[in-house]
Amino acid sequence: MARQLDNVHILSIDQRRLDDQKDQMVAEVHITQRNIVRRTELRVTVLGDHGAGKSTILGCLTYGEADDGRGKARLNLLRHRHEVESGRTSSITLGTIGFDTEGLVLNYANNRSAEQIFQRSRHVVTFVDTCGYAKHLKTTASAIVGHSPHVFCLVLAADVAAITTTTREYLRIAAVLCVPLMIVVTKMDAAIKPQFAAMMHELMSALDTVVSGRSKCIVTSETDSDSLAKDMMSLAVVPIFTTSAVRSVGFSELTAVLAKSRHSHPSSLMATAANNGNAKVRKNLFEFHIEHVFSIDTVGKVVTGWVKAGTIEVGPKSGHRLVIGPNALGGFDDVDVTSIHALRIPSESAQADSSAALAIQPQKAIAVRKGMVVVDANYLDNGTKRVSSEFVARIAVLDPELKAMNSVIVHIRSTYRLARILDISNETTDDENNQQCGESSSWATIRLKFDDGVCDYLYAGMPVIARDGQRLTFVGHVADVV
């Protein structure tokens, strides 16, 4: 029976003869099905003003049902909350859709669980929802840098006449971080013509100035989705979709592009952004960023997060010596990875730029926390400094009040901490990097030190975003680890 199922491993067989029927046996067989299919993954962070219709769009995409204009579709997102939350920040709602080999959309309309969607998919799109409110800056900042998104999806409502400063700020962030951007103008059913025209006009000119390196394309059919997806991912085009969740309009165009969107080499985009000459050297070494830590009875310690570089395989063929850290003293400890789940499916390996859960066995009893990394031990030998409490970043200033000796809350990956600005020097010239990323104003180089003095794992090219109580203060990349 096990052989007839695909790629099944028998873990144990427990058998006994029945007392009353001596010639018959019962057996309990523990099997696991290992993943052999390679799935591509696209992580999308959904940004936009409060009430723009973000959660509703996700509700419609993940359940294939229309909205009633009074919040029905977004409730769907909460229906699978227990699933949605496992392995991710609970305050950020996550939606998932998949595409099978034929490109058919797989969601909760035709699947029972996220596991089933993943299992049947060849391409998986996970959405991180955010809240446009200023008091939720923390979750928004985490969604921008924490989950290492491949695409920002900016949602605007069609029934307002102007775009907000928050929307402009999100455009700027996408430009600075060199993240592919798609725009969804929703609530088309409620749009009033002159208002809508004014809003679109503002949007277009904001795109021209803030995201100037990319052209714009209003998507009206599914025919060019292939090239559109490619151009979006290579930062050449910003596709603009017009949708109505109430009338279920515009979603097929949106899913057609998502189905085709594959991230281009992550480090190549970042490398140009931050002038990071190390990108090539590091390409094949394994590097995993921990976002959450769990303890599971039968398995032990499990960490979830994403593979930044390299590939990990379970078993003796891996040949990696892996370490986990930095610990409280800034050091690393040996660790074994005993099993892997990629997109919640038991797997032999996990590749660069995919989400994964690793069961780990540190060789010493150590406190594992999010923000730590599991890396190839060779990383630590190649001389580049990667652990520090102080760093230099090249940033775009979002808050003009930003001054030296201010403290800001710095988000790096899925963690955030208070850091003091030791030094800030504003730049006036536009270099090539700026133009490549389509951004040309108020750049600065800033030197930061974590207030608690505790070291973090850092590298040139790492995206950072900072906030104070009320607003985002800057966004950029680590330039140098001091």
Nearer to ligand GDP, 184 or 324 (CB): 184
Asked whether the beta carbons of 183 and 156 are under 8 A apart, the reply is yes
Spatial CA neighbour of 340 closest among 320, 365, 367, 364: 320
Q: Which of Mg ion, ligand GDP, none interacts with 52 (beta carbon under 5 to 8 A by kind)?
A: ligand GDP
Interaction between residue 217 and ligand GDP (CB under 6 A): no
Is 76 near Mg ion (CB under 5 A)?
no
Which tokens sit at 275?
A: 């002038």
Alpha-carbon distance of 284 to 74, in angstroms, equals 41
Burial of residue 336 (number of CB atoms within 10 Å: 0-12, 13-18, 19+): middle
Q: Using an 8 Å Cβ cutoff, are 452 and 367 in contact?
A: no
Sole window of 211-219, 225-233, 242-250, 427-435 interacting with ligand GDP (rule: CB under 6 A):
242-250
Written as six digits, the tokens of 213 are 């390196």
Adjacent-strand bridge partners of 128: 45, 94
Q: Of 35, 45, 55, 167, which lies in the binding site for Mg ion, with binding defined by CB under 5 A?
A: 55
Among residues 42, 43, 47, 54, which is the contact residue for ligand GDP, using CB under 6 A? 54
Return the number of the residue (55 or 267) whose C-beta is nearest Mg ion. 55
Between CA 105 and CA 120 the distance in angstroms is: 10
- Find out whether 87 and 303 touch, Cβ atoms under 8 Å: no
Q: Does 52 help bind ligand GDP (rule: CB under 6 A)?
A: yes
- String of DSSP letters for 384-403: ---EESEEEEEEEES-TT--
Q: Is the dihedral of CA 470, 240, 253, 231 positive or negative?
A: negative
Residue with Cβ nearer ligand GDP (245 or 360): 245
Shortest separation between residue 461's beta carbon and Mg ion, angstroms: 31
Regarding 130 and contact with Mg ion (CB under 5 A), the answer is no
Question: By C-beta, is 55 or 327 nearer to ligand GDP?
Answer: 55
Cβ proximity to Mg ion, 128 vs 235, nearer residue: 128
56 lies in the binding site for Mg ion (CB under 5 A) = no
Q: Which residues pair with 289 in a beta bridge?
A: 306, 373
Find the shortest distance in angstroms from Cβ 192 to Mg ion: 23
Backbone angles phi, psi at 214, to 5 degrees: -115, 140
| Interface with ligand GDP, residue 315, by CB under 6 A | no
Paired sense of beta strands 373-376 and 94-99, if any: unpaired
Indicate the residue among 54 and 80 with the shorter CB distance to ligand GDP. Answer: 54
Please provide residue 480's backbone torsions phi and psi, each rounded to the nearest 5 degrees: -155, 135
Does 45 sit near Mg ion (CB under 5 A)? no
**Closest-approach residue to Mg ion (CB):** 55
Of 292, 328, 325, 332, nearest to 452 by C-alpha is 328
Here's the x/- map for ligand GDP, 163-192, by CB under 6 A: it reads as -----------------------xx-xx--
309/321 Cα distance (integer angstroms): 15
- Choose the stretch contacting ligand GDP; rule: CB under 6 A; options: 62-70, 418-426, 444-452, 465-473: 62-70
When binding is defined by CB under 6 A, the residue of 31, 36, 38, 71 that contacts ligand GDP is 71
Please state the closest distance from residue 52 (CB atom) to Mg ion, in A. 8
Six-digit token string for 446: 């800033």
Contact pick of 84, 179, 237, 245 for ligand GDP (by CB under 6 A): 245
Residue 473 contacts ligand GDP per CB under 6 A: no
Contact residues toward Mg ion (CB under 5 A) are: 54-55
Contact residues toward ligand GDP (CB under 6 A) are: 48, 50-56, 67, 69-71, 74, 186-187, 189-190, 244-246
